[in-house]
């Protein structure tokens, strides 16, 4: 059961990151993909869940603001 939570989280997050309804999202203007990559990198280096989540959310909103500006 050690792998059930990451597998479930992956199954939930993949459609949000890569799909917009029935269409595949682009990579260049997709803030979700940049935030997901940032989250993976920062979680690997920090090893603190709450700090990683907060930093990832701030990064996501910043990237989302820049792309939609």
- Predicted pLDDT of residue 38: 93
Domain ranges within the chain, ordered by starting residue: 4-68
Average pLDDT of the segment spanning 9-14: 84
Tens of pLDDT, residue by residue over 26-61, are 888 888 899 989 998 999 999 888 999 999 999 999
Quote the CA–CA distance of 57 and 61 in Å, as a whole number. 6
Tell me how far CA of residue 57 lies from CA of 1, 11, 12, in angstroms.
28, 20, 17
Average pLDDT of the segment spanning 10-32: 87
Global pTM value: 0.76
- Predicted pLDDT of residue 16: 87
- Predicted pLDDT of residue 14: 86
């Amino acid at each position: 059961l050690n792998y059930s939570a990451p597998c479930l989280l992956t199954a939930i997050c993949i459609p949000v990151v890569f799909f917009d309804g029935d269409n595949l999202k682009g990579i260049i203007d997709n803030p979700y993909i940049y935030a997901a990559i940032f989250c993976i990198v920062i979680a690997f280096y920090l090893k603190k869940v709450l700090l990683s989540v907060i930093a990832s959310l701030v990064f996501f909103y910043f990237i989302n603001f820049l792309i939609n500006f």
